[in-house]
Amino acid sequence: MPADSAKNETRLRFLWWDLEAVPMPRALRAVLRSRTAVWGILFVSLALFMGVTAHWVAPYDPYKQETGMRLKPPFWDPAAKEGHLLGTDQLGRDVLSRMIYGARVSLIVAAVAVFIAAVTGVGIGLLAGFYGGWIDSVLMGFTNFFLSFPHVLLAIAIMGIVGPGFTTLILVLGLTSWPIYTRIIRSEVLTLKELEFVEAARALGVREIVILGKHITPNVLNSILVTASLETARMIINEAFFSFLGLGVQPPIPSWGNMLYDGKAYIFVNHWLITLPGIAIFLTTLGLNLIGDWLRDLFDPHMVF
């Protein structure tokens, strides 16, 4: 998809305000020039804000049950109860508060899983691409073996056999999603290591490990950032799916996927228990995808995927 078309770039606006004359740093100006970036950062910041400040902004304790207040609809429904903006769940817990705390849980799971996957995948990709030869054959054989596995099934099988839980979920998500980094980083390293600056460093007698660390790695950081932002979105969805199956984060801890799991049984009674957490997931993953797309266009306008 192309970068934002030229017409947005003539005057600097944010939503409906004209900001052309407002003084600000150049980096901020660049962000605001892209509608993609503005919306992406807006959605992701909202989720981050909820996650970080859950203690202060959540109106209720997410675990507090009120038996007289079960399955109340959100405020736009006439049957809504005052004080519970987005209604209550089957145990009379406040949905808004659980969604705010759920942001924290979902984001932590996704972020740690992405970190584990990126470190593993990038490491393997750097080694395979840089050293080549049998190291490359062995590592890529392993990676391709992993890639041929339907990840969802692999993760579900492990979760089912090892048993569900917060830590297990993070580990399983992280350790089943690294090959994508390996593939991307390896192919970049293969190109990079043939370039003149690497040759020059080698001619100067720089040690191989230093070339890899100081000259190659900084050049793949852009790709890592793009991939990681798109993968964070995927991890949020995966967390939600596993928790939705009952294999992920366990009740009563609120995560977005967990709320879907709880709401599944009440789909005919109060569908908002499914609709609302889903909207939170969708907007966050949309935001991450927008940021990823924007970064990709920024770093390399010719890259397609």
Partner 1 sequence: MSRYILRSLIQLFLVTWAVATTAFLLVFMSGDPVMLMVPMTATREEIEALRDAFGLNQPLWIQYARYMVRAVQGDFGVSIKAGQPALNLVMERIPATLELGLAGMILASVVGIGVGVLSALKRDSWIDAAGRVLALGSQAMPIFWLGLLLIIIFAVKLRVLPPFGRGGLKELILPAITMATYNIPLILRLTRSTFFDVLYQDYIRTARAKGLPERVVVFVHILRNAAIPLVTVLGMNFGRILGGAIVTETVFAWPGVGSLSIDAIFTADYPVIMAATIILVVSVVVVNFLTDLTYAVLDPRIRYG
Out of 22, 199, 275, 299, the only residue in the binding site for partner 1 (CB under 8 A) is 275
Q: Which amino acid is at 128?
A: A
State in angstroms the smallest separation of the CB of 124 from partner 1: 17
Q: Which residues contact 16 (CB under 8 A, 6 or more apart)?
A: none
- Per CB under 8 A, 41 contacts partner 1: no
Instruction: Using the rule CB under 8 A, give the single segment among 90-98, 100-108, 209-217, 234-242 that binds partner 1.
Output: 234-242
Q: Which of 236, 237, 127, 228 minimizes the C-alpha distance to 181?
A: 228
Task: Spell out where the chain has E strands.
Answer: 13-14, 17-18
Out of 107, 285, 291, 295, the only residue in the binding site for partner 1 (CB under 8 A) is 285
Q: Give CA 17 to chain center in angstroms.
A: 30
Tokens 């901020």 belong to residue = 28
State in angstroms the smallest separation of the CB of 31 from partner 1: 18
14 beta partners: 17
Length of the chain measured in residues: 305
- Per CB under 8 A, 150 contacts partner 1: yes
Q: Rule CB under 8 A: which of 1-40 touch partner 1?
A: 1-2, 5
- Per CB under 8 A, 195 contacts partner 1: no
Residue 47, both tokens: 């989720």
Q: Which of 301, 289, 259, 290 minimizes the C-alpha distance to 103?
A: 259
- Per CB under 8 A, 265 contacts partner 1: no
- Per CB under 8 A, 305 contacts partner 1: yes
Per CB under 8 A, residues contacting partner 1 are 1-2, 5, 145, 147-153, 156-162, 233, 237, 240-241, 244-245, 260, 264, 267-268, 271, 274-275, 278, 281-282, 285-286, 288-290, 293, 304-305
